[in-house]
Structure 1
Amino acid sequence: MTPLSVSVPNVLYQTSLMSALLSGVYEGETTMAQLREHGDFGIGTFNKLDGELIAFDGNIFQLRGDGTARRANPQQQTPFATMTFFNPTNEYRIERPHTREELHQVIDNVVASQNAFCAMRINGKFSRVDTRTVPEQERPYKPMLEAVKEQPTFHFDNIEGVLIGFLTPEYMQGINVAGYHEHFINDARCSGGHVLDYQVDHGTLTFGTVEKLMIDFPHDKDFLRADLSPENLQEAIRAVES
C-alpha cells in the first residue's frame, strides 16, 4: 500500500436522492456540463434512466441498455448523479487475482471509519466483469423495482478497463446507495455498465476519503410528490443495486 500526497479537500456533489429514483423520479434538470463544474469523477444515470453514467479524467460516458457505451453530450440531463474531483490518498498494486470482496477489504482496512465516504478507482485487466443497465423508460414511469425487472445483464471475460465507484456509509442509505456502488467501462470505451461482480488479475487500485457532501434537491412536481421514505427502502435499494 502506497500513501499519496494530497492537499486539496474532497467535496462530494450529489443531485437528487436515491429514494427519489426508487420512486420513479427519472427526470432532472442538471446537465452533464453542470456536473463537470462539480467534479471530474463520478457515477449516476441519465434522464428516463437511459443508461448508466461513468465519469473520470474529466470525461463522461453513457453506458446504455444494449451494453454499448458512448461519450455523453454536455446538454444531456440526469435525475441522479454523484461527482467529485478525484484526489486519491492511497494506491494499491494488484499483482495477483483479487475478487471484488478482497479489494473492498483492502479499502476497509485502510479507511479510518466506515462513517466516511470514499472514492475508488481500478485500472486493470479483469478476468471477468458482470454488469447490468436499466433500459430507457417512458411515462407513466414505473417504480425502479419494476423497471429493473427488464434490465439486461452482460458478462465480460479477460477485459481491460476502468472501474470507479464510491463507498457510502450505512446511515446514508436512501440519500445515496449504502456500501460499494461501482460502474465499469472497457478501455475501448465501447461497453460497460453498473457492476454486479468482478475479479481483477492485475492493475492499480487508488482511493481516498471525502470530507464534505453537497446535495442539490430538485423542485419539480415529480420530486415534491414522491414518497422518499417508503417502508421497504432498505430492501428496495438492495434489490435494484445488487
Structure 2
Amino acid sequence: MSHLQGCLCPQHLLQGLVSQGQRDNQRELHQVSIMSALMDGVYEGEMTLAELFAKGDFGLGTFNELDGELIAFDGEAYQLRSDGSARPATGNQKTPYAVVTFFEPQLTLYVDSPVTRQALHHDIDAQIGSANVFCAIRIDGQFNHVRTRTVERQAPPFIPFTKAVEQQPLFDFAHAAGTLVGFRSPDFIQGIGVAGYHEHFITEQRHGGGHVIDFHLQHGSVQFGIISRLVVHFPTGEDFKHANLTPAFLDRDIRRVEQSS
C-alpha cells in the first residue's frame, strides 16, 4: 500500500513534463567533480558557492577539506558541522563535490501516516516508474526520527573517504520538524555521482542536521521532479589529475560510506 496521497500514475508524470513547457535549465543537474574523486581524497575544489548557486539553488554536497555537509533550498544554504551545529554558508566558501538544480517539482504528494525511509523510497520509485531517471526530492514535515552523520574536517595529506568516515560523528534527531533535500539517481551513474538516494536534512529551527542515514517520517509533504540533463564540472587541480577514479570496489565502497551507521 502506498503512503502517498494524490498519486499520479508514472506515465502521466513523465508525459506531463513535456506539456508544462519548462525551460531546460530548470531541469538541469549541475555537479561539481565526481564521487570517485571524493572517494580517493580529492577534498579541495575551485568552485565557490556563489558560482555554484548561479547554476542551481537547490541541492547538497560538502565543503573543502570535508568541513561539513551542504544543504541548499529556498534561497538559503547551510553548513552542517561535525559538532552537530548548523550555520549559514557564505558565497566565498568552496566545494570539492556538490549537486544542485533549480528545483521545479512536477508533483507534490502528502504523507498522512508514519512511514519509514525504505517504504517512502519505494513509493517514490513507483511514482517515477523507471530506474533510469534522475529525480530531485524535497520532504518537509514532522519526523519521528532522523539519523545523520557528518564527517570531521580533514587535513592534508588527505586519507581516502572510506577511512575518513570511520570516525564520523552520528546524530539522532527525535520528534523533529525539518526539511530533507535529496536526489535519486540511476545505478549507471555510480562513481560519477551517487546511485540511489542521497539526502541531507536540517531541522526547522536550522540548528542541526547532516547526511541522512535513516529517517522515519510522521507526516508531511513530498515534492519531486524529474531531471533531464546532467552537467559535470571537472576539477583542474593536480590531485584530480592523479586520482584513482576507477578502483576495484568503487560501487561497494560508495554504498558503504553513504549508508554507514
Q: What residue identity is the alignment partner of 1:7?
A: G
TM-score w.r.t. structure 1 length? 0.97
Aligned partners of 2:80 and 2:210 also within 8 Å? yes
The equivalent residue for 1:74 is 91
Q: What residue identity is the alignment partner of 1:122?
A: I
Q: What residue identity is the alignment partner of 2:225?
A: G
SS at match of 2:143: strand
The equivalent residue for 1:146 is 163
Deviation at 1:101, TM superposition (A): 1.1
Detail structure 1 runs of 4+ shifted over 6 Å in the superposition.
Answer: none
SS at match of 1:96: coil
Identity of aligned residues (%): 50
Aligned partners of 1:36 and 1:58 also within 8 Å? no
Q: 1:183 aligns with which of 168, 179, 200?
A: 200
* 1:46 and 2:63 are equivalent in the alignment: yes
TM-score w.r.t. structure 2 length? 0.90
The equivalent residue for 1:210 is 227
* 1:197 and 2:214 are equivalent in the alignment: yes
Q: 2:77 aligns with which of 60, 68, 80?
A: 60
- Say which is worse superposed, 128-137 or 51-60, in terms of deviation: 51-60
Q: 1:116 aligns with which of 129, 133, 154?
A: 133
* 1:90 and 2:137 are equivalent in the alignment: no
Question: CA–CA distance in 2 between the matches of 1:91 and 1:102?
Answer: 17
Question: CA–CA distance in 1 between the matches of 2:103 and 2:194?
Answer: 19
Query: CA RMSD of the aligned region, Å?
Result: 1.2
The unaligned stretches of length 5 or more in structure 2 are 1-5
SS at match of 1:39: coil
The equivalent residue for 1:14 is 31
Q: What residue identity is the alignment partner of 1:151?
A: Q
SS at match of 2:90: coil
Q: What residue identity is the alignment partner of 1:72?
A: A
The unaligned stretches of length 5 or more in structure 1 are none
> What CA deviation, in whole Å up to 9, does each residue of 1:42-93 have, x standing for no partner?
0100000000110111211101111111110110000000000001111111
- Say which is worse superposed, 7-16 or 28-37, in terms of deviation: 7-16
Aligned partners of 2:183 and 2:199 also within 8 Å? yes
Deviation at 1:232, TM superposition (A): 1.0
Deviation at 1:2, TM superposition (A): 5.4
